[in-house]
Amino acid sequence: MGVFMRILTVLYILASVECYKFENTLGHIKPKASPDVQSVAVQQLIQRILHQKALKFSVNVDPQFLVDNKEAFKVFKDRKGIINIVGTSGVAAATGFHHYLKYFCNAHISWEVSQLELPEELPAANITISFNDRFRYYQNTCTTSYSFVWWDWQRWEKHIDWMALNSYNFVLAFNGQEAIWERVYKKLNFSQKDIDEHFTGPAFLSWLRMGNMRGWGGPLSSAWHERSIWLQKKILERMRSLGMIPILPAFAGHLPRAIKRIYPDVNVTKMDIWNNFNDTYCCPYFLDPTEPLFKVIGKMFLEEQIKEFGTDHVYNCDSFNEVDPPTTALNYLSNVGKSIYGAMTESDPDAVWIMQGWLFVHSFFFWTPNRVKALLTSVPNGKMIILDLQSEEFPQFDRLQQYFGQPYIWCMLHDFGGTLGMFGSASIVNENVIKARNQENSTMIGTGLTPEGINQNYVIYDLMSESAWRKEPSDLQQWFRNYTIRRYGKVNEDIIRAWQVLKDSVYNFRGLDRMRGKYSITWTPSLDINIWTWYNYSDVFDAWDIFVQNAQELQDSPAFSHDLVDLTRQALQINGDIYYKKIIAAFKAKDYERFYVESRIFKNIFDDLETILSTDKAFLLGPWIESAKKCANNSKERDLFEFNARNQITLWGPNGEIINYANKQWSGIVAKYYKPRWDLFIAAMNASLAKDIPFNEKKVKANMFREVEEPFTFDRSIFPIEPTGNPVQAAKEIHRKWGVHYRKVHPKELEKFVGGNNRREPLVSLIKK
């Protein structure tokens, strides 16, 4: 670099000092691809989305195009009718393109469905928008396992496009790391057997990586490693060409058990048991970060990884996710921080450490402010980034005093385990991001999405993503109106009203209860499932009525059809909870007649649920299993991967260690798993009532495990990957049956109605068999 260029660079860096916080420590974290490469990448992205219409768009990536010293995009239509997009990076330009689609063309792109009916004559525009923060982060360390695990390149390509369109420039890239580890382990003289008993199967890698478990669902084959490396390289290349910063993993301290044989004198501790996994599958060893060997292995890993994938200098490392450090001594915690960061800088002097702040929520009592301070301030200020992982419900930045000066990112976690129930915290997301940024001495440097699983409740992710640029909270009434119009490509005032109802009910959660997809139909049958919700069931039924009434008019919209299925699913899920309570009440009252009637109705829910879900591709079990099988290299592996896929969404562990956690309301699993479970349970309740013998729940559950749950994971029957039936027809029929109930009844008052004869008759008459 010439002297002149150097001066220019210094001036450039100085000039940007007051724009974003922490420029002195994070200024080097920026796109590596040239502006030309980024422009071409965005032009190709537009081509993938709009095909020949893409010719009407022109993209120019210009890193100097700052607005108030901040990254920005500009969209305007020129005299020749071309839509010009200027952005400070590829991601900025892609966001500008998406903004134009959303706010000028009323188009919509979501995970499952899109609405891209653009006007023949592209509307005029002339807007410039700057980004609030430099970083928009995406992914939870669990998303890889719950959502992405079986994806091929095609699916990844589409999703990387989605990331760019929604402004995400700071994203995890986690494929292929076990392949790198295998090389490192071999250099350290671990045998193949040592490695095989360590690696989990693909569906459980997230928890291997965080040291929670080992071996379950494994081992991994060399074909899997090759595929992962190949995929990772394609992903990285695409992300970088769009101007994203991919975040790679670093060594967190977790090692195969054999470390103790190879280094008998080194201080390692067995990790604590996590979620009752037994010794075969739990507790890898944890190499104390203060041991000299920590740096040696950390360096070996990073060097091997950089050799294969290059680096953008940001590394994720979570040493104590859901497992506490062995001691509370402040100087120990401080040494841990120093060692982890030291191992990174040993091979990359420009390293920045990014950590999920989940431990501060999960182990709230361990991580007192003093201890957090000891850990965080051991790393040079501004060289560590904390993901405030569930800011919409359990923000920690206040309790932990802006992370004692370290930068953090405000993240919406929203979903656990990829479960499907409707919920979200729209008003909190809308307001609190901005409040947090404007706090005195705020160290917030970005916004993020950290869902454990995607493909549900898209609306809330669309809203949160806009916090990248919104300076003021949006008018939610108007925002939901706009969303509805974009999504369905039509102005239908009834449907707009239905979405307003959803906005004020399912999408306005403000409580502190933990949302974990606990609904009676998908939970393990039991006499005491704790059903709760924060909204009035009647709100969902009101919205459902409107959807069904307007179905004819909107049936050509794939997004509407998707949402009609989703709302019908939600209404059935609620009916499940309602009838669950009735069954239990009847059982406890030993009212055989009522038990018989209510349980018959309850069982009917599963058939209708199966019917409606089978009409939409997004709600099928088949694609999940078939995509798993496609990743396999041979029949034995195909079998193992299918087992991985089936086990994760049901038993989650050999003995139901985290049973139901990642449950899915999908066609296939409803009929072959959830329904048989309840059939068995209800039959046992019935027998107990009929014979007046005590009900042994433990024994029933053991039967259920043997007869339904475990067999489902070993079963190899094939499920459709394409939908069947007509969603509108199915929704209408189901609505006729289930839509008449519980107007304006708060769930808390439900008990009052249990047993009462409140409009049950019309329903029962429809359930013939």
Ligand X SMILES: *[C@@H]1O[C@H](CO)[C@@H](O)[C@H](O)[C@H]1NC(C)=O
Query: Which CB atom, from 247 or from 259, has the smaller least distance to ligand X?
Result: 259
Which CA distances in Å does 584 have to 19, 607, 743? 60, 21, 22
- The first and second tokens of residue 552, run together, are 């004819």
Give the E-state strand segments of 335-439 in sequence order.
352-356, 384-388, 408-412
Place of tokens 């038993």: 651
Query: Residue 724 is which amino acid?
Result: T
Rounded to 5°, the CA angle 22-473-481 comes to 135
Q: Is 278 in the site for ligand X (CB under 6 A)?
A: yes
* Strand-pair category, 254-255 with 285-287: antiparallel
Interface region with ligand X, contact rule CB under 6 A, candidates 54-62, 220-228, 370-378, 491-499: 220-228
Residue 126 or 724 having the CB closest to ligand X? 126
Least Å distance, CB 313 to ligand X, is: 27
Q: What angle do CA 699, 703, 707 make, to 5 degrees?
A: 175
Q: How far is it, in rounded angstroms, from Cα 745 to Cα 753?
A: 9
Determine, following the binding rule CB under 6 A, whether residue 222 of this chain makes contact with ligand X. yes
- Interface residue with ligand X, options 279, 528, 593, 692 (CB under 6 A): 279
Residues ≥6 apart with Cβ < 8 Å to 482? 102, 103, 106
Among 441, 530, 635, 765, binds ligand X (CB under 6 A): 441
The strand ranges marked E within 112-226 are 114-115, 126-130, 135-138, 170-172
User: What tokens does 107 get?
Assistant: 């188009």
Which residues inside 326-345 make contact with ligand X, applying CB under 6 A?
Answer: 326-327, 332
Query: Considering only residues 30-89, where is the footprint of ligand X by CB under 6 A?
Result: 76
**Nearest distance from residue 30's CB to ligand X, in Å?**
28
- Residues whose CB falls within 8 Å of the CB of residue 657, separated by 6 or more in sequence, listed in order: 275, 276, 277, 651
Strands 72-77 and 83-87: antiparallel
Residue 167's region, left for phi above 0, alpha for psi from -120 to 50, else beta, is: left
Count the site residues for ligand X by CB under 6 A: 35
Among 47, 455, 526, 686, binds ligand X (CB under 6 A): 686
Q: Smallest distance from the beta carbon of 257 to ligand X, in angstroms?
A: 12
Give the residue with the Cβ less far from ligand X, 307 or 748: 748
Q: Which residues have a Cβ under 8 Å from the Cβ of 509 and sit 6 or more positions away?
A: 423, 424, 425, 515, 534, 535
Residue from 7, 8, 13, 223 in contact with ligand X (CB under 6 A): 223
Nearest to 249 by CA among 337, 323, 173: 173
CB of 608 to ligand X, least distance (A): 18
Name the nearest CA neighbour of 115 among 97, 102, 124. 102
Q: What is the nearest approach in angstroms of ligand X to the Cβ of residue 223?
A: 4
* Sole window of 90-98, 241-249, 366-374, 476-484 interacting with ligand X (rule: CB under 6 A): 476-484
152 is an interface residue for ligand X by CB under 6 A: no
**Residue 491 in contact with ligand X, rule: CB under 6 A:** no
Which residues are 106's β-sheet partners? Answer: none
Handedness of CA 624, 200, 171, 659 (dihedral sign): positive
Near ligand X by CB under 6 A, which window of 277-285, 562-570, 662-670, 717-725? Answer: 277-285
| Strand bridging mode 135-138 / 245-249 | unpaired
Neighbours of 598 (CB within 10 A): 26
Residues between 508 and 537 that touch ligand X (CB under 6 A)? 535-536
The residues with which 127 forms a beta bridge, in sequence order, are 75
Rule CB under 6 A: choose which of 58, 60, 114, 655 binds ligand X: 655
Tell me the window of 28-36, 310-318, 524-532, 684-692 that interacts with ligand X (CB under 6 A). 684-692
Residues 587-646 that bind ligand X (CB under 6 A): 633
**Per-residue x/- mask for ligand X, residues 176 to 215, rule CB under 6 A?**
------------xx--------------------------
Stretch that binds ligand X, among 415-423, 473-481, 663-671, 714-722 (CB under 6 A): 473-481
**472 sits near ligand X (criterion: CB under 6 A):** no
Q: Decide whether 188 or 239 has the Cβ nearer to ligand X.
A: 188
Binding letters toward ligand X, positions 718-757, x by CB under 6 A: --------------------------x-x-----------
Smaller CB separation from ligand X, 370 or 552: 370
Q: x/- string (CB under 6 A) for ligand X, residues 493-512?
A: ------------x-------
Q: How far is the CB of 91 from ligand X (least distance, A)?
A: 21
Residue 372 has which token pair? 């957090």
CA-based nearest residue to 514, from 528, 527, 533, 529? 533
Q: Could you say whether residue 404 binds ligand X (CB under 6 A)?
A: no
Q: Is 349 exposed, middle or buried (0-12, 13-18, 19+ CB in 10 A)?
A: exposed
How far is it, in rounded angstroms, from Cα 226 to Cα 211?
23
Which residues are at the interface with ligand X (CB under 6 A)? 76, 103, 126, 188-189, 222-223, 226, 267, 278-280, 288, 326-327, 332, 440-441, 474-475, 478-479, 482, 505, 535-536, 633, 654-655, 683, 686-687, 690, 744, 746
